[in-house]
Structure 1
Amino acid sequence: MDMASPNITTIVKQLKPDLVIYDFLQILAPSLAQSQNIPAVEFLALSASMTSFFMHLAYNPGVEYPSPEIYLRDYEVQIEAKYIDYLSVLVKKKIVPVGPLVQDPVEKDEKKEIIEWLNGKEPSSAVFVSFGSKYFLSMEEMQEIAYGVELSMVNFIWVVRFPQGEKVNLQMALPKGFLDSIGDRGMVVEGWAPQKTILKHSSIGGFVSHCGWSSVMESMKFGVPIILMPMHLDQPVNARLVEALGAGVEVKRDTNGRLEREEVAKVIRKVLVEKTPKRKAKELRENMENKGDEEIDGVVQGLLRLCSKKNKQW
């Protein structure tokens, strides 16, 4: 059932299902389900670390978070096992992981030139640069990142997006002469690119990411270490988690939160050269593969037990 509908009350009362699974943000769903004597299960689409961190701030103001590797810097104020346990304590409910909901890429002909470009590069010699579909870089950020990838001297493919409806000339947004100077070492794509297909390609050795949870999951699934460049919302916490796992290195900003090209270049080179982030990313990928459908199977069994218990009460 899609509990994102504005008619949640009507749906629950008319259909009276055996079980309601609702999105974390739908705060009305649990009370409505309870009023109809229906069990309810929250479906969290965010990381347990981020959720427990912010719930800790809300429930325990002024108390230090028990896992010190997860924190926010001053300017930011403006895998998961211990965070899941702590989240269970905070919300007084059982938290069940459902596993990474990441599909394998589907081979299609879209952006064929990207795959051909990647095929011409050495294994693990390139970085993929993308900041998701909902965050748009400021002109200053775009300039520093452009200079940073140029200074790094590594191969890169960069997906650049502008807000819908805004007419921005790509060449004007990038440093003067940038597209000419990078030559075949870099490819700049405007709009969209097949992210999972790119991350899975053998020539990709690093992912410059804003650390949205979906991107973090995809990077882990394909064993790609992350050049962490969080922007806002849950991204700083996600970045701290990845760094604590050893599968990425964060690009440090100045005290005002600004990116600096030298730091961008340094971290890109570090992730592509050092063994630890690559090894940790590979271990995460192997662990996810080994687990397979174990977690989601556990969720299904748990839901069946809930429904069975409810049916006996009736």
Structure 2
Amino acid sequence: MNSSTKTQSLRILMFPWLGYGHITPYLELAKKLTTKGFFIYLCSTEATLSSIRTKIPPNLSNSIQTVSLPLEVSQDLPAESHTTNGLPPHLMVKLKEVFDNSAQSFSSILKQLKPDLLIFDFLQPWAPPLAEALNIPSVIFITSSSVMTSFMFHHFNHPEADFPYENIRFREYESRLMDELLANARDPKEREKGSAGVNMSREVVLIKGSREIEGRYIKYASGLTGKRFVPVGPLVQEPDDDQKSSSSELLSWLDQKEAKSTVFVSFGSEYFLSKEDMDGIAHGLLQSKANFIWVVRFPETEVVLEEKLPEGFLDKVGERGKMVQGWAPQTSILVHPNVGGFVSHCGWNSVMESFKFGVPIVAVPMHLDQPINARLVEEVGAGEEVLRDGDGRLNAEAVAAVINRVVVEDGVRAKVDEVKARLALMGDEEIDEVARELMSICSKLRS
């Protein structure tokens, strides 16, 4: 039996967390695996699936099937809120609770579909035991960076020791994040919760990224956990015609600007800027020399944009900038030749998009893994971080200075072009390795 025939019969159930930053790389991995002959079930809530169904190409519609997972509905959390995208922060705990309560429904899906393999996310360590009870092997796919994952496991294993790579640190004003990590590392229950998914993964851990960028962190994470970390590649969604047609006015405006003269400003689908940070970014953009497209999001459903910005901001900006509320075609903007920088929170998906498309990063990390990702961006030379003051406040002059350096000077651009070229040279090497690993796990069970 040749490898192509082998994989034709292998069906994978993929089960990501409910964030857009999770289901998007899961879908991109699904697309890659179908080219190797796998059939994919992609399971999530209807609210989450509705955001990605149109991104399944027609030629793959017979190889990727979406499967809806029902969650408990309440007045606070109706079915359309069963996603982290745009969810007010105070409802996040409630969403995690109802998600964890869906184990019985997910077990029924496993029994009905009988997949050959489960690929699961780190926030649902209750899923692998359900699969293993049915003799279905499980492999975790982590959508975070290897640098953050190795940083976390280092402190789980050695809470009193410094991370061995000195560029990767929380800054003093991020001490709260470090304190939380160390508190979890010292608490056996929290440590178990954080490492459970990796411990239950069969033989390997799949992780979004590339050895070209994070080779030493992938190796270190493997040593810390006793599991082979296998990178799946950047998994960046290519721009599509639907994106372009739905934002034709915005892209037409961008067409009129000079090459590399515009920065794209976005802080992800789940983070809402504080008033203080919004003012710092706004004044920094005003003081910079760059044109900009700024995507803003608010927890409230009805917002008067002018009231959220510094007084007179829109008048002062004029045609230099465009404000977009809610959503913008990020990949279509980043590949545009007139974009010269990305003012980013350094969520891992956004970092990978910048690397893949060769766009320098102005790093403005906010929370979670973003500060550690920002340190990696600087380590590889693909961007520069805006340093906050001792109290963690953004300074407009610092924002403007970094934007001007990244957009105007050639050093960072040359480095990010080099990173882009290195990733392109990898081609299908990484996904071929992933396919071999998954086939091996399934064949051992069958033999």
Asked whether the two chains share a fold, i.e. TM above 0.5, the reply is: yes
- Displacement of 1:34 in angstroms is 4.4
Matched, 1:135 2:260: no
Q: Deviations over 1:198-252 (max 9, x none)?
A: 0000000000001111111111111001000000001001101111010010000
- Does structure 2 retain, via aligned residues, the 8 Å contact 1:160–1:190? yes
Change (3 A) 1:11 1:190: closer
SS at match of 1:80: helix
CA distance in 1 between partners of 2:158 and 2:107 (Å): 32
Q: Which amino acid aligns with 2:220?
A: Y
Contact kept, 8 Å, 1:18 with 1:310, in 2: the verdict is: no
User: 1:81 and 2:215 equivalent?
Assistant: yes
Q: Residue 91 of structure 1 aligns with which residue?
A: 225
Which one of 362, 376, 391 corresponds to residue 256 of structure 1? 391
The separation in 2 between residues aligned to 1:98 and 1:307, in whole angstroms, is 18
- Alignment partner of 1:302 is 2:400: no
CA distance in 2, matches of 1:61, 1:189: 43
Name the SS for the 2:257 alignment partner: coil
Aligned partners of 2:429, 2:279: CA distance in 1, in Å?
44
* Alpha-carbon offset, residue 33 of structure 1: 4.2
Identify the range of structure 1 (53-62 vs 205-214) with the bigger mean alpha-carbon deviation: 53-62
Q: Which of 158, 180, 183 is 1:60 aligned to?
A: 158
1:113 is matched by which residue type in structure 2?
A: E
After superposition, the Cα gap between the structure-2 partners of 1:92 and 1:35, relative to the gap in structure 1 and judged at 3 Å, is farther
Which deviates more, 125-134 or 8-17?
Answer: 8-17
Q: How does 1:1-314 map to 2 (within 5 A)?
A: 1-3=13-15, 6=102, 7=104, 8-12=106-110, 17-78=115-176, 79-107=213-241, 108-165=244-301, 167-312=302-447
Aligned length: 311
Cα separation, 1, equivalents of 2:307 and 2:115 = 55
Instruction: Name stretches of at least 5 consecutive residues in structure 2 with no aligned partner.
Output: 1-12, 17-68, 70-101, 177-212
Instruction: Measure, in 1, the Cα distance between the counterparts of 2:375 and 2:124.
Output: 27
Deviates more, 1:241-250 or 1:109-118: 109-118
Specify the SS of the correspondent of 2:271: coil
> 3-state SS of the aligned residue for 2:245?
coil
The amino acid of 1:56's aligned partner reads H
Task: Report the AA paired with residue 155 of structure 1.
Answer: N
Distance 1:302 1:88 in 2: 15
Amino acid at match of 1:287: R
Alignment-mate amino acid for residue 175 of structure 1 = P
Name the CA distance, whole Å, in 1 between partners of 2:379 and 2:332.
Answer: 26
Whether the 8 Å contact between 2:346 and 2:364 is mirrored in structure 1 is: yes
Q: Could you say what secondary structure the match of 2:250 adopts?
A: helix
Specify the SS of the correspondent of 1:109.
helix
Question: CA offsets, 1:128-151, max 9 Å, x none?
Answer: 111111111111111111110110
Provide, for residues 45-73 of structure 1, a one-character-per-residue CA deviation record: whole Å limited to 9, x for no partner: 11111111112112210111111111112
CA distance in 2 between counterparts of 1:16 and 1:181 reads 60
| SS of structure 1 residue aligned to 2:230 | coil
- 1:40, 1:91 → 2: CA distance? 16
Question: What CA RMSD, in Å, does the superposition of the two structures yield over aligned residues?
Answer: 1.7
Q: CA deviation at 1:264?
A: 0.3
Residue 171 (structure 1) shift: 1.1
Structure ranking higher on relative contact order (CA contacts 8 Å, 6+ apart):
1
Structure 1 unmatched runs, 5+: none
Comparing 225-234 and 299-308, the one that deviates more: 299-308
* Partner SS state of residue 258, structure 1: coil
- TM-score normalised to the size of structure 2? 0.66
1:151/1:265 contact within 8 Å kept: yes
Deviation per CA, 1:277-299, whole angstroms, max 9, x where unpaired? 10111111112222122211110
Percent sequence identity over matched residues? Answer: 54
Q: 1: distance between equivalents of 2:108 and 2:141?
A: 20
- Runs of 4+ aligned structure 1 residues displaced above 2 Å come to 2-20, 28-40
SS of alignment partner, residue 294 of structure 2: strand
Per-residue Cα deviation, 1:129-181 (whole angstroms, up to 9, x for no partner): 1111111111111111111011012111111211143x332112111111111
Contact 2:14 2:118 (C-alpha < 8 Å) held by counterparts: no
Offset at residue 310 of structure 1 (A): 1.6
